[in-house]
Amino acid sequence: MALDGDVLDAGSGQFLGLALAVVPMQVGSRAVSFPRLAQFGFWAWDLGSVVVIVSIIGNGGPGGGNTDLVDMYLLGVAVAVLGLCGVATSVASTVLTSRAPGMTTDLVPVFSWGGLVGSIATVLSLPVLVGTIAYLYIDHTYAATAFGGNKGIDEWTR
């Protein structure tokens, strides 16, 4: 699996999971904001990661030969990204709205600030990835030429 897949499946999920556990304690909140969204985000990320791994094992990842599993790979990445966006929304709203009485944003610990900044960056950037995945799916399914069709990016470099 490529480095970007490792970061999406392991790095982002682990950071957001740690932030989901630590941030409410640091800001003095009794619970995380939007707990059902956070739970949905975890299970969506988990399901998407499993779908990605299964499709890669079946020769359907990037550059894979099985066209049905390439579509499955794109679906898995999209589901995992939507799950990460849900968890990031929960972490960001916890820092912004569920602080203890008297705690201003100046008193928020550094890790919680990092969680807030990372969550906002995640919520702003990953929907663009979902749009790109939709374009890739259309490009792959209908053999269009926006992203090279079934020939790949090599068509752009010639």
pTM for the predicted model, two decimal places: 0.84
Is residue 150, in this structure, part of any structural domain at all?
Answer: no
Is residue 153, in this structure, part of any structural domain at all?
Answer: no
Q: Which band of pLDDT confidence, cut at 50, 70 and 90, is reported for residue 155?
A: low
* Whole-number percent of the chain with pLDDT over 90: 57
Is residue 151, in this structure, part of any structural domain at all?
Answer: no
Q: Which residues contact 55 (CB under 8 A, 6 or more apart)?
A: 61, 64, 69, 70, 72, 73, 76
CA dihedral 18, 21, 27, 31 (to 10 degrees): 150
Is residue 116, in this structure, part of any structural domain at all?
Answer: yes
Is residue 46, in this structure, part of any structural domain at all?
Answer: yes
Is residue 155, in this structure, part of any structural domain at all?
Answer: no
According to the model, what pLDDT value does residue 2 have? 57
Can you tell me the distance from the alpha carbon of 87 to that of 38, in angstroms, rounded to the nearest whole number? 5
State the CB neighbour count (10 A cutoff) for residue 102. 7
Q: Specify burial of residue 41 (Cβ count, 10 A radius: 0-12, 13-18, 19+).
A: buried
57-65 long-range CB contacts below 8 Å, 24 or more apart?
61/1, 61/5, 62/2, 63/152
Is residue 76, in this structure, part of any structural domain at all?
Answer: yes
According to the model, what pLDDT value does residue 3 have? 53
Considering its fold, how many domains does the chain have in total?
Answer: 1
Can you tell me the distance from the alpha carbon of 87 to that of 123, in angstroms, rounded to the nearest whole number? 9
Is residue 68, in this structure, part of any structural domain at all?
Answer: yes
Q: Which domain holds residue 94?
A: 3-142
